[in-house]
Amino acid sequence: MERVTVDFAKSCGKIKPMNALNNGPAGSRVRKTSNFDAYSAAKIPFARLHDTSFAGEWLVDVHRIFRDFDADENDPKNYVFGPTDIYLQNVEAAGTKVYYRLGAAIEHGYRYGTIPPKDNLKWARICEHIIRHYTQGWADGYYMDIEYWEIWNEPDCTNSPTDYPCWQGTMPEFCEFFVTVFKYLKEKFPHLKIGGPAIATVWHEDFCELFFSSIRNAGITPDFISYHRYGKTVEDFKESVHKANEWLEKYGYGDVETHYNEWNYVRGWQAENFIHTIDSIKGLKGASFTTGVMCALQYEKIDMMMYYEGRPSGFCGLWDSYTYRLHKGYYPFLAFSELRDIGGAVKTECDDYLYSAAATNGERSAVLLTYFNESDDAEKYKKIKLNLQNLHLKEGEKIKAEVLVLDDTHDLECIRNEIFESGNIALYLDMPLYTTYLVRLVVI
Is the separation of the CB atoms in 236 and 281 below 8 Å? no
For residues 350 and 335, state if they share a domain.
Answer: no
Three-state secondary-structure class, residue 295: helix
Is the separation of the CB atoms in 36 and 47 below 8 Å? no
What's the pLDDT at 27? 87
Q: How confident is the model at residue 159 (pLDDT cuts 50, 70, 90)?
A: confident
Taking 90 as the threshold, does the pLDDT of residue 32 lie above it?
no
For residues 332 and 392, state if they share a domain.
Answer: no
Domain count, the chain: 2
For residues 165 and 283, state if they share a domain.
Answer: yes
For residues 231 and 307, state if they share a domain.
Answer: yes
- Domain residues for the domain of 407 are 345-443
**Within-domain flag for 177:** yes
What's the pLDDT at 87? 97
**Within-domain flag for 138:** yes
Polymer length in residues for the chain: 444
Hey, how many other C-beta atoms are within 10 angstroms of the C-beta on 139? 15
- Side chain identity, residue 153: N
Is the separation of the CB atoms in 438 and 367 below 8 Å? yes
What's the pLDDT at 337? 98
Weakest-pLDDT range from 284-288, 313-317, 356-360: 313-317
Over residues 348-360, the pLDDT tens digits come to: 999 999 999 999 9
**Within-domain flag for 8:** no
**Within-domain flag for 1:** no
Over residues 403-416, the pLDDT tens digits come to: 999 999 999 999 99
**DSSP line for 61-119:** -HHHHB--TTS-TT-GGGB--HHHHHHHHHHHHTT-EEEEEES----SSS-STTSPPS-
Q: How confident is the model at residue 160 (pLDDT cuts 50, 70, 90)?
A: confident
For residues 304 and 207, state if they share a domain.
Answer: yes
Alpha-carbon torsion 366, 40, 257, 171, what sign? positive
Q: Which of 30, 168, 69 is nearest to 111 (CA)?
A: 168
Q: How confident is the model at residue 29 (pLDDT cuts 50, 70, 90)?
A: low
Name the domain boundary from 297, 322, 342.
342
Cis link prior to 309 (omega < 30° from 0)?
A: yes
Q: Which of 119, 35, 86 is nearest to 318 (CA)?
A: 35
Name the domain boundary from 315, 342, 369.
342
Taking 70 as the threshold, does the pLDDT of residue 30 lie above it?
no
For residues 30 and 112, state if they share a domain.
Answer: yes
Over residues 183-213, the pLDDT tens digits come to: 999 999 999 999 999 999 999 999 999 999 9
Over residues 214-239, the pLDDT tens digits come to: 999 999 999 999 999 999 999 999 99
Q: Which of 259, 288, 252 is nearest to 193 (CA)?
A: 259
For residues 329 and 388, state if they share a domain.
Answer: no
For residues 144 and 267, state if they share a domain.
Answer: yes
**Within-domain flag for 2:** no
Q: Can you name the residues that pair with 306 across neighbouring β-strands?
A: 20
**Within-domain flag for 6:** no
**Within-domain flag for 110:** yes
Is the separation of the CB atoms in 362 and 386 below 8 Å? no
Is the separation of the CB atoms in 61 and 103 below 8 Å? yes
What's the pLDDT at 24? 97
Taking 90 as the threshold, does the pLDDT of residue 268 lie above it?
yes
- Side chain identity, residue 41: A
For residues 154 and 294, state if they share a domain.
Answer: yes
Taking 80 as the threshold, does the pLDDT of residue 176 lie above it?
yes
Over residues 88-138, the pLDDT tens digits come to: 999 999 999 999 999 999 999 899 999 999 999 999 999 999 999 999 999
DSSP-based helix, strand, coil % in the chain, nearest 5? 30, 30, 40
Over residues 288-306, the pLDDT tens digits come to: 999 999 999 999 999 999 9
pLDDT cut 90: percent of the chain above it: 94
For residues 26 and 58, state if they share a domain.
Answer: yes
The CATH number of whichever domain residue 70 belongs to comes to 3.20.20.80
The CATH number of whichever domain residue 357 belongs to comes to 2.60.40.1500
For residues 210 and 353, state if they share a domain.
Answer: no
Largest CA distance in the chain: 74
Q: Is pTM beyond 0.85 here?
A: yes
**Within-domain flag for 297:** yes
For residues 170 and 270, state if they share a domain.
Answer: yes
Name the domain boundary from 327, 342, 357.
342
